Amino acid sequence: MGFQIRKDARRWFKYLEKDYDLLFDPYYWCLTAGFASGHRDSVKSDEVDDFVEYFPGDYKSQGRLLVGLLIHAELRRLAIDLKERDAVYKVIKEIVDPESPSYMSLDGIKRMNAYAHGGFDVLSEELEERPRSMETFVRSYAKIVSKLYQDRSQK
């Protein structure tokens, strides 16, 4: 199992395809919205496309950072304080696999995909219509993600 993008997300980002090089780009947009909101979603296997098992292109150098953000999101979701060392190490052990091309265990990849799927839900709800130009999308996306982080940090 690798990174998965929802088929409806691929269709939703269809008009931006000419503006990005990697399918990981819309995955990343969804993922950060999922992290920002804390929203996760599970999707049936016939509703997703597996597209890569590692962090591609420019994301390769940022892969460990994304895994760290996943750990942070999971600790927050599970309400685990960083002072609870045993609980923190348990979560890290469940997510991280340094031998894997993605630096994550199968469970870690499933969790990351769940945030990406949930992030798509959030983006598609927040934007009135699917994006038709990269310039408009990036401005709206930045506002949405910023608002999601602010709203979540006030809780």
Q: Which of 117, 122, 132, 118 is nearest to 12 (CA)?
A: 132
Q: What is the CA radius of gyration of the chain?
A: 15
Token pair for residue 77? 């979701």
pLDDT value at residue 155: 65
CB atoms within 10 A of CB 61: 9
Q: Which domain holds residue 99?
A: 3-153
pLDDT of residue 154: 75
Output the six-digit token pair for 137: 């999308």
The predicted model scores a pTM of 0.94
Residue from 114, 149, 151, 125 nearest 5 by CA = 114
Intervals of the chain under pLDDT 50: none
pLDDT at 152: 79
* DSSP element (H, E) containing 5: strand 3-6
Q: How many domains does the chain have?
A: 1
**pLDDT of amino acid 11:** 96
CB atoms near residue 42 (< 10 Å): 9
Distance CA 115, CA 30 (A): 8
